[in-house]
Chain A
């Protein structure tokens, strides 16, 4: 019961937050001086007025806001300006799964890699593997993703040329093989952060009483490592999953563009250049809502995994 109440409360606040995001986006959008209907060719006044009427831009801004909000309540984000026959809902429906697949895949890379490397580094603390892993971590944190993206594509090209066959596709979005490299590049910095977190968390756990007890009991080192140390050390890593999802799903612009992936992030950047009001609004609100839900989900997940956290307490 307490759980349900907590959930309802969180969802209520979440809805309010989404309203705030929508309003903020609308406000910023209408601060932009340009006109989304501007075209290379000049048009006469009648046609301009007709176009504005078709998109409802002839109404006062506040009325536009009300119309937009009520449409959004019905789950309708409107029609795109730049592609005249497509609704923003369709665009999100078609492109978000791509971004999400890429995001989930890179998150898997990041989590699995982070836990693995972090655990290894802690295991070999202050020895060569630790130094090596931490050096790579530093590299992963400090080198911008666009540099990684460009160089990894170059690497694939050289690899394919050297082997004389297409081992990995250079770009595109077909099949798992084309997802590997982009997901890796996208997940790299998150993986680096998680490795660092995992390592320090492992070392923290190593100093706890229960681990000393386990050792004193004479348990085998592998059992201590897997059962006691690893399992407890993973907990803090889960807390960063929420923000990590945010970074990865919205931060895919560069990777999506370099690897020619038809994701929503790339669409957003194009829409900004095209000043496509409805697409910009739709994507931002959608991403915002998605993130709000993800954060709630991670919190609940964390509550399940770590019995010390009680959900009602927040």
Chain B
């Protein structure tokens, strides 16, 4: 041991510079480099994400993270303001009449390289969205535009799309049918402009990396280290830059470990957590114990049990479904088993936040719930057995993905149906893609499924079980239901539309087409110096565009 110390002293004596350098290195390395969640002087906020954007190309983007970045860095004809009201974006003025919409673009709307945003940029982008070779998954959102569906199926050329640039600053859109909610679509990403020359110059790598990006929105993406961090900075060429306070939105952490993220928040390294997905139960308890201000907002997701209505499946039998409906208490599921504050027990296909004619839809069209009644349930079950000609219902598979809440729900249902109806339920937990594949192929009896609204109109939920809807995984098919959906889609008279949706809401309950489980709520905590964050049920769910850091 003595020798070791002696040799150390020897090194110190002979190579003082080297020792000094290594000491300095050690000192530099030790203090944590991470910065604070909010900074007043530079108007910077830092947040964490649970995953990375999959594809930032607005033509093909699908995931929440991509939408989050696109909503901050791009702008469509219309946009959402600080109160989530629909206001003019690139379009200064607009006019809608029957199946024709006309938009007048503002002249000061510029791309981040200083070139003006023109009507041709919209025409190009929209044609690409429905281009079958591009294979955009959100192409169906474009279907209200004339010929969009036919083009998307390869039956018509791209030029047939009902959108024309009358001049550089005037855009005219022809619709398939009067569409009441068409204007609300204008702030959705597939309707964003794309500049043809820039797009083609990227050689298929449009928005693949920072150097392949061009923006017309309030922020610019200035750095993207894959899997690690992203950064947005204020876009000074944006026409309304004067009303944007934040300079930097920094995302230095990408991790799906909720505990790690919350620990960062407690350390003051994050401005808000978890703005996009909401806190999990454990982090909520932690926030409570630390006396943090907890805010909650509906994130739009409606969770329900989807039945497989294919004739060869046992769940095709309505009485069996109604038996399950009569014992399923969504309140017990939400309040006791899931236990996350703010979740709303599911009652209807149309969530509580959706708007009707003048008020909330659910206030105007209250749900007539099927009563909880175990005795009645057993009668339904006996009837089902009789109709199916069997003594015992064979095991029923319930498909769910491997997220915690889904597994909790599936296990709760398994226990519930066993206890009350003596049904054998087999839980089928699959990883994300396998679950989707099984759902699309119809290899399930029941599935825990979720739907989030694409636009601000109840039809985004109500048309789910139309026989032609590609998302109707259970292949429910009922001419009455289809007729209601056609009524809604064929007119822009709100009263007629909402009446039909009200009938759909009731039909879903009467025939137990699905069993609503809950409406998801996102609970967040944020730095008290951060103000003006806008939460919504649409798109990414959180906007920092009009946020600011106060002292």
Query: Quick check: B431 and A272 within 8 Å, CB to CB?
Result: yes
Residues of A contacting B95 in the complex (Cβ-Cβ under 8 angstroms): none
Interface string of A84-95 (1 = CB under 8 A from B): 111000110011
Query: Quick check: A41 and B135 within 8 Å, CB to CB?
Result: no
Contact A41:B137 (CB < 8 A) given known A85-B208, A153-B263: yes
Query: Quick check: B471 and A41 within 8 Å, CB to CB?
Result: yes
Check: A26 CB closer than 8 A to any chain B CB: no
Check: B257 CB closer than 8 A to any chain A CB: yes
Query: Quick check: B226 and A90 within 8 Å, CB to CB?
Result: yes
Check: B24 CB closer than 8 A to any chain A CB: no
Residues of B contacting A94 in the complex (Cβ-Cβ under 8 angstroms): 225-227
Check: A51 CB closer than 8 A to any chain B CB: yes
What separation, in Å, do the CA atoms of A168 and B472 have in the docked complex? 50
Within 8 A of B (CB), among A242-272: 257-260, 262, 267, 270, 272
CB distance from A57 to the nearest CB of B (A): 13
Interface string of B251-283 (1 = CB under 8 A from A): 011111101110110110100000000000000
Check: A54 CB closer than 8 A to any chain B CB: yes
Check: A47 CB closer than 8 A to any chain B CB: yes
Query: Quick check: A166 and B32 within 8 Å, CB to CB?
Result: yes
Query: Quick check: B137 and A39 within 8 Å, CB to CB?
Result: yes
Query: Quick check: A50 and B132 within 8 Å, CB to CB?
Result: yes
Residues of B contacting A113 in the complex (Cβ-Cβ under 8 angstroms): none
CB distance from A181 to the nearest CB of B (A): 12
Check: A14 CB closer than 8 A to any chain B CB: no
Interface string of B190-222 (1 = CB under 8 A from A): 000000000000000101110000000000000
What separation, in Å, do the CA atoms of A65 and B432 have in the docked complex? 25
Within 8 A of A (CB), among B355-369: none
Check: B239 CB closer than 8 A to any chain A CB: no
Residues of A contacting B30 in the complex (Cβ-Cβ under 8 angstroms): 176-177
Residues of A contacting B51 in the complex (Cβ-Cβ under 8 angstroms): 270
Contact A157:B266 (CB < 8 A) given known A35-B433, A39-B62, A41-B138: yes
Query: Quick check: A173 and B228 within 8 Å, CB to CB?
Result: yes
B473: nearest residue on chain A (CB-CB)? A42
CB distance from B541 to the nearest CB of A (A): 15
Quick one: which of A36, A41, A46, A54 has the most chain B CB within 10 A?
Answer: A41
A166: nearest residue on chain B (CB-CB)? B32
Query: Quick check: B255 and A171 within 8 Å, CB to CB?
Result: yes
Query: Quick check: A33 and B434 within 8 Å, CB to CB?
Result: yes
Check: B9 CB closer than 8 A to any chain A CB: no
Check: A208 CB closer than 8 A to any chain B CB: no
Query: Quick check: B257 and A260 within 8 Å, CB to CB?
Result: yes
Check: A304 CB closer than 8 A to any chain B CB: no
CB distance from B477 to the nearest CB of A (A): 15
Quick one: which of A51, A170, A173, A174 has the most chain B CB within 10 A?
Answer: A170
B402: nearest residue on chain A (CB-CB)? A273
Query: Quick check: A273 and B29 within 8 Å, CB to CB?
Result: no
CB distance from A136 to the nearest CB of B (A): 21
Interface string of A143-176 (1 = CB under 8 A from B): 0000000100100110011000011111111111
Check: B31 CB closer than 8 A to any chain A CB: yes
Query: Quick check: B260 and A170 within 8 Å, CB to CB?
Result: yes
Surface stretch bound by A, among B10-18, B52-60, B158-166, B503-511 = B52-60
B208: nearest residue on chain A (CB-CB)? A85
Interface string of B119-158 (1 = CB under 8 A from A): 0000000000000110111111000000000001110000
What separation, in Å, do the CA atoms of A157 and B286 have in the docked complex? 13
Interface size on B, residues (CB 8 A): 66
What separation, in Å, do the CA atoms of A43 and B264 have in the docked complex? 39
Query: Quick check: B54 and A157 within 8 Å, CB to CB?
Result: no
Contact A51:B138 (CB < 8 A) given known A257-B256, A258-B257: no
Residues of B contacting A160 in the complex (Cβ-Cβ under 8 angstroms): 267
B140: nearest residue on chain A (CB-CB)? A41
Check: B494 CB closer than 8 A to any chain A CB: no
Contact A168:B32 (CB < 8 A) given known A84-B60, A257-B255: yes
What separation, in Å, do the CA atoms of A85 and B139 have in the docked complex? 19
Contact of B208 among A38, A44, A50, A86 (CB under 8 A): A86
What separation, in Å, do the CA atoms of A94 and B30 have in the docked complex? 24
What separation, in Å, do the CA atoms of A154 and B153 have in the docked complex? 54
Residue pairs across A and B with CB atoms within 8 Å: the count is 179
Check: A209 CB closer than 8 A to any chain B CB: no
Contact A258:B260 (CB < 8 A) given known A84-B55, A166-B34, A222-B2: yes
Contact of B470 among A32, A44, A174, A260 (CB under 8 A): A44
Quick one: which of A36, A54, A174 has the most chain B CB within 10 A?
Answer: A174
Residues of A contacting B470 in the complex (Cβ-Cβ under 8 angstroms): 41-44
Check: A210 CB closer than 8 A to any chain B CB: no
CB distance from A151 to the nearest CB of B (A): 11
Check: A226 CB closer than 8 A to any chain B CB: yes
Query: Quick check: B266 and A40 within 8 Å, CB to CB?
Result: no
Check: B108 CB closer than 8 A to any chain A CB: no
Query: Quick check: B153 and A46 within 8 Å, CB to CB?
Result: yes
Query: Quick check: A222 and B1 within 8 Å, CB to CB?
Result: yes
Residues of A contacting B257 in the complex (Cβ-Cβ under 8 angstroms): 171, 257-260
Query: Quick check: B137 and A43 within 8 Å, CB to CB?
Result: yes
What separation, in Å, do the CA atoms of A166 and B268 have in the docked complex? 10
Query: Quick check: B54 and A83 within 8 Å, CB to CB?
Result: yes
What separation, in Å, do the CA atoms of A176 and B254 have in the docked complex? 18
CB distance from B441 to the nearest CB of A (A): 9
What separation, in Å, do the CA atoms of A47 and B154 have in the docked complex? 9
Check: B3 CB closer than 8 A to any chain A CB: yes
What separation, in Å, do the CA atoms of A54 and B254 have in the docked complex? 29
What separation, in Å, do the CA atoms of A36 and B433 have in the docked complex? 6
B260: nearest residue on chain A (CB-CB)? A171
Contact of B29 among A167, A177, A274 (CB under 8 A): A177
Within 8 A of B (CB), among A69-86: 82-86
Residues of A contacting B137 in the complex (Cβ-Cβ under 8 angstroms): 39, 41, 43, 47
Residues of B contacting A32 in the complex (Cβ-Cβ under 8 angstroms): 434
Query: Quick check: B32 and A178 within 8 Å, CB to CB?
Result: yes
Residues of A contacting B208 in the complex (Cβ-Cβ under 8 angstroms): 85-86
Residues of A contacting B471 in the complex (Cβ-Cβ under 8 angstroms): 41-42
Contact A262:B228 (CB < 8 A) given known A39-B137, A50-B132, A175-B33: yes
Query: Quick check: B31 and A50 within 8 Å, CB to CB?
Result: no
Residues of B contacting A310 in the complex (Cβ-Cβ under 8 angstroms): none
Check: A9 CB closer than 8 A to any chain B CB: no
Check: B297 CB closer than 8 A to any chain A CB: no
Contact of B260 among A35, A223, A259, A274 (CB under 8 A): A259
What separation, in Å, do the CA atoms of A160 and B243 have in the docked complex? 38
Check: A137 CB closer than 8 A to any chain B CB: no
What separation, in Å, do the CA atoms of A34 and B432 have in the docked complex? 10
Contact of B440 among A38, A85, A161, A171 (CB under 8 A): A38
CB distance from B386 to the nearest CB of A (A): 35
CB distance from B442 to the nearest CB of A (A): 12
Contact A50:B135 (CB < 8 A) given known A34-B434, A166-B32: yes
Check: A107 CB closer than 8 A to any chain B CB: no
CB distance from A274 to the nearest CB of B (A): 6
Check: A110 CB closer than 8 A to any chain B CB: no
Check: B436 CB closer than 8 A to any chain A CB: yes
Check: A275 CB closer than 8 A to any chain B CB: yes
Check: B437 CB closer than 8 A to any chain A CB: yes
Query: Quick check: B436 and A39 within 8 Å, CB to CB?
Result: yes
9 contacts between A and B (CB under 8 A): A32-B434, A39-B436, A41-B137, A85-B55, A175-B32, A177-B33, A226-B4, A257-B256, A274-B433
The 8 closest A-B pairs by CB, nearest first: A42-B470, A260-B255, A85-B208, A176-B29, A262-B227, A275-B433, A38-B436, A171-B260
